[in-house]
């Protein structure tokens, strides 16, 4: 499949004796919304961490837009057009929503507006452009009326969307979202779903969503890959995955484990 935007081939990641990912392969087609789901500890975040340069591969490889990227530095991968959010919210709480997004752009462009010592006309032009772009991104995630609100004062669901806007400030083609629905109520999940569909339509984005439960991804994913203990146990359409005996077993097993711990 040469047409995939991201290709993961036979990826294995070990931490000492622990195998976090075991020979996992998957393709992400351009402009698709795909999901990786699986119980806690399945290796989902590890997958994103390899694709963004935080972890290296023990074996196997990751290619993006025709070039091998595993083992490259995170900033280099970001420049190629891959952005992510983290499982745990990482915002600057005392800064406004707008400033949080502007910092996302600033980190990306090396001629940074915050660190620039020369506040000449070029600086102001850049600053104005970044501000306008940040406003547009906040509107795209439904935070157009919250630009001046401190990040910490936003309700949790909006904080998660602010993180997405910040990731978009690097102008990615591929957006990797690590459990964006965690902690959201079902109305907020519906809202997030429609935002992700809009982002694909308006920005031509390709999106990989990681989820622990199936609620978010079932409604919007073109293709789902299921991991359990680092292994791919199923993949296909939401309907195919939902009815897979392997998947049902993995999730029931997790429920049983939780029940026995409580």
Ligand X SMILES: Nc1ncnc2c1ncn2[C@@H]1O[C@H](COP(=O)(O)OP(=O)(O)O)[C@@H](O)[C@H]1O
Site for ligand X, residues 103 to 142, rule: CB under 6 A? none
Among residues 43, 53, 104, 157, the one that binds ligand X under rule CB under 6 A: 43
Interface with ligand X (CB under 6 A), residue from 6, 44, 96, 98:
44
- Dist. CA 44–CA 36, nearest whole Å: 7
Nearer to ligand X, 22 or 27 (CB): 22
7, 32, 34, 45: residue in contact with ligand X (rule CB under 6 A): 45
- Closer CB to ligand X, 28 or 154, in the complex: 28
Q: Which helix (H) or strand (E) holds 79?
A: helix 74-80
Q: Which stretch binds ligand X (CB under 6 A): 39-47, 65-73, 108-116, 234-242?
A: 39-47
CA 46 – CA 22 distance, rounded (Å): 11
Q: How far is the CB of 143 from ligand X (least distance, A)?
A: 27
Instruction: Match 């935080």 to its residue by tokens.
Output: 54
Q: Which residue is nearest to Mg ion (CB)?
A: 45
Query: Considering CB under 6 A, how many residues would be counted as binding ligand X?
Result: 11
Residue placing its CB nearer to Mg ion in the complex, 44 or 223? 44
User: 223, 235 in Cβ contact below 8 A?
Assistant: yes
The answer to whether 231 contacts ligand X (rule: CB under 6 A) is: no
Considering only CA atoms, which of 6, 5, 8, 34 is closest in space to residue 21? 8
Residues 62-121 that bind Mg ion (CB under 5 A): 87
The tokens describing 90, both together, are 């990482």
The residue range among 44-52, 137-145, 149-157, 193-201 that interacts with ligand X, by the rule CB under 6 A, is 44-52
Is 20 one of the binding residues for ligand X (CB under 6 A)?
yes
Choosing among ligand X, Mg ion, none, which partner's interface includes residue 244 (Cβ < 5 to 8 Å by kind)? Answer: none
Taking CB within 5 to 8 Å according to partner kind, which of ligand X, Mg ion, none is near residue 193?
Answer: none
Burial of 226 (0-12, 13-18, 19+ CB in 10 A): buried
* 187 contacts 200 by C-beta, under 8 angstroms: no
C-alpha span between 153 and 86 (Å, rounded): 19
45 is a site residue for Mg ion (CB under 5 A): yes
Contacts of 234 by beta carbon, 8 Å cutoff, 6+ apart: 224, 225, 226, 240, 241, 244, 246, 247
Contact set with ligand X (CB under 6 A)? 15, 18, 20, 38, 40-46
């Amino acid at each position: 499949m040469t047409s995939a935007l991201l290709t993961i081939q036979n990826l294995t990641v070990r931490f000492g004796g622990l195998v976090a990912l075991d020979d996992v392969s998957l393709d992400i087609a351009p402009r698709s919304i795909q999901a990786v789901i699986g119980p806690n500890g399945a290796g989902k975040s590890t997958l994103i961490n390899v694709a963004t340069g935080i972890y290296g591969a023990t074996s196997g490889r990751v290619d993006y837009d025709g070039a091998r990227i595993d083992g490259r530095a995170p900033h280099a991968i970001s420049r190629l057009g891959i952005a992510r959010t983290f499982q745990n919210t990482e915002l600057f709480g005392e800064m406004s929503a707008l400033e949080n997004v502007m910092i996302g752009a600033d980190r990306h462009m090396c001629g940074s507006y915050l660190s620039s010592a020369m506040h000449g006309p070029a600086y102001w032009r850049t600053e104005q452009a970044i501000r306008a772009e940040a406003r547009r991104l906040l509107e795209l995630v439904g935070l157009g009326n919250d630009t001046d609100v401190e990040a910490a004062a936003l309700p949790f669901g909006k904080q998660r969307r602010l993180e997405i806007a910040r990731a978009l400030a690097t102008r990615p083609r591929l957006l990797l979202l690590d459990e964006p629905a965690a902690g959201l109520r079902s109305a907020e999940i519906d809202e997030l779903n429609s935002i992700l569909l809009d982002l694909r339509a308006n920005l031509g984005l390709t999106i990989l969503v990681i989820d622990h439960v199936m609620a978010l991804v079932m409604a919007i994913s073109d293709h789902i890959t299921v991991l359990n203990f680092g292994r791919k146990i199923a993949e296909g359409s939401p309907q195919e995955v939902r009815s897979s005996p392997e998947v049902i077993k993995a999730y029931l097993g997790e429920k049983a484990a939780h029940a026995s711990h409580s």
